[in-house]
Amino acid sequence: MRGFYTLANGGRYVQPSCVTKIDNLGQTIYKNSREVKTIYSPESAYMMTDILKGVISSNYGTGHNLKIDGQIVAGKTGTTENSKDGWFCGYSSYYTTVVWCGYDIPKEVDNLFGSTYPGHIWLNYMTKIHEGLPKADFLQPQGIVFKTIDWRGNPTDFDTGTQDMFSKTCLEKGLGGQIGVNASQSAKDGSNITNRVITPKENQIPQPMDQETKAEQDADAALAVLESLTPQSSAENRDAVFLDAQNKIGKIKDKDRRSSYLDRISGVQRVLGIEGSY
């Protein structure tokens, strides 16, 4: 909870307290100082929040079914092994709420994922407490700048048509990882170097994702959509989602991993009251 509301607060941490002050016979004998500590830089907090907004706003996010009408929110799903614990931690510019579901003595819970029971409890509660509040986005710090990036995600002067956000301070300190240089510059011997490209070290070049990892990522995305179904979902839409999930799970070669994904499909079927198999 504290880590998430610190992100929501632009990187500033304030010790939680239910007491603001204590008065005795008209005299204040205690007043909460509400000391503020900077834990993250405003730029780091904003960039992390921007990433976590995608968990909910993106159609492929694990919390894509937890959008709050009229509000901008960020969050993170969490599920422990064998679905013994489920978390959803989410926040807006107004409130931060964390929900945990599970047993005091851990045991497996059918269809328990961060986006199911915890996510829907979070959504119902946050929707209620945001009623009547104007839509508000997270405040962008002045130290955030947008730069054109290359295929590695590094800032470049070439027009690639793709941009990303960076901390101005990091760029000024040379921590931006710039690879391409699209300008004439003087070398130490006085000669000019034009359109110079610095080749990164081999271990800096991202390696292609292996097929098994790609298959599991595709299966996770399909299951996130599947787990957002409700008993009110149309049969046509439900069948299409189930079929898509099964097809993607079928591409996972590891038998045990594939079986665990199929168990998740069975869990959704039980929740929706669907008999038989797809």
Ranking 194-203, 244-253, 260-269 by mean pLDDT, the lowest is 194-203
Q: Between residues 235 and 56, which one has the greater pLDDT?
A: 56
Q: Where in the chain is the domain with CATH 3.40.710.10?
A: 2-15+34-129
pLDDT tier at 276, thresholds 50, 70, 90: low
pLDDT at site 191: 31
pLDDT at site 96: 94
Q: What is the mean pLDDT of the chain?
A: 80
Strands (E), the chain: 12-14, 21-24, 27-31, 36-38, 74-79, 85-91, 96-102, 144-148, 163-167, 185-186, 192-193
pLDDT tier at 176, thresholds 50, 70, 90: low
Token digits of residue 15: 């010790």
Q: What is the pLDDT of residues 119-138, one digit of tens each?
A: 999 999 999 999 999 999 99
The half-sphere exposure of 137 on its side-chain side, counting CA atoms within 13 A, is 7
Homologous superfamily of 2-15+34-129: DD-peptidase/beta-lactamase superfamily (3.40.710.10)
pLDDT of residue 206 exceeding 70: no
Average pLDDT over residues 228-255: 80
**Can you tell me the distance from the alpha carbon of 129 to that of 214, in angstroms, rounded to the nearest whole number?**
39
pLDDT of residue 196 exceeding 50: no
